């Protein structure tokens, strides 16, 4: 499994953009980058995933470096509800075993 490195915690203000980084320098060419988040007292929630090009959905954007050794999850306008632990998880196409690291605890200030 590819090893990931994320900051333990980050803090931002409501209605401002948030950029959550993830280093995955040992990623293989067939690993997709998945992001999940876990709100307090809830189960994890899928956010987004991608392989090489940048991806957008209603929740967030995912920017993947050209060498694929890092990626950034972008929340365009953070709300208080975005306060959660965010996990970056490399996953081979078709694989089903999610390996959760420690993630980044995101705090949003009103």
Partner 1 sequence: DAGVIQSPRHEVTEMGQEVTLRCKPISGHNSLFWYRQTMMRGLELLIYFNNNVPIDDSGMPEDRFSAKMPNASFSTLKIQPSEPRDSAVYFCASSLDGRGANQPQHFGDGTRLSIL
* 97 lies in the binding site for partner 1 (CB under 8 A): yes
The DSSP result for 38-75, as a single string, is: E-TTS-EEEEEEESSS-EE-SS-EEEE-TTSSEEEEEE
CB atoms within 10 A of CB 18: 21
* 102 lies in the binding site for partner 1 (CB under 8 A): yes
Write out the binding residues for partner 1, residues 29-88 only, by CB under 8 A.
Answer: 32, 34, 38, 41-46, 49, 87
- Nearest CA to 30 among 52, 59, 47, 12? 52
**At closest approach, how far in Å is the CB of 13 from partner 1?**
28
Over its C-alpha atoms, the chain yields an Rg (Å, rounded) of 13
* 105 lies in the binding site for partner 1 (CB under 8 A): no
* 94 lies in the binding site for partner 1 (CB under 8 A): yes
How many residues bind partner 1, per CB under 8 A?
22
In the chain, count of helices (H) and strands (E)? Answer: 0, 9
* 7 lies in the binding site for partner 1 (CB under 8 A): no
* 98 lies in the binding site for partner 1 (CB under 8 A): yes
Pick from 5, 17, 80, 99: which binds partner 1 (CB under 8 A)? 99
Interaction site with partner 1 (CB under 8 A): 32, 34, 38, 41-46, 49, 87, 91, 93-102
């Amino acid at each position: 499994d590819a090893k990931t490195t994320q900051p333990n915690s980050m803090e931002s203000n409501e209605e401002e953009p948030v950029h959550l980084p993830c280093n995955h320098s040992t990623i293989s060419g067939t690993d997709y980058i998945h992001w999940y988040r876990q709100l307090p007292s809830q189960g994890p929630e899928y956010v987004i995933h991608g392989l090489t090009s940048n991806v957008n959905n209603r929740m967030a954007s995912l920017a993947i470096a050209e060498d694929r050794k890092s990626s950034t999850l972008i929340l365009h306008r953070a709300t208080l509800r975005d306060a959660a632990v965010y996990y970056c998880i490399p996953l081979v196409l078709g694989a089903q075993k999610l390996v959760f690291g420690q993630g980044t605890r995101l705090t949003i200030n009103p």
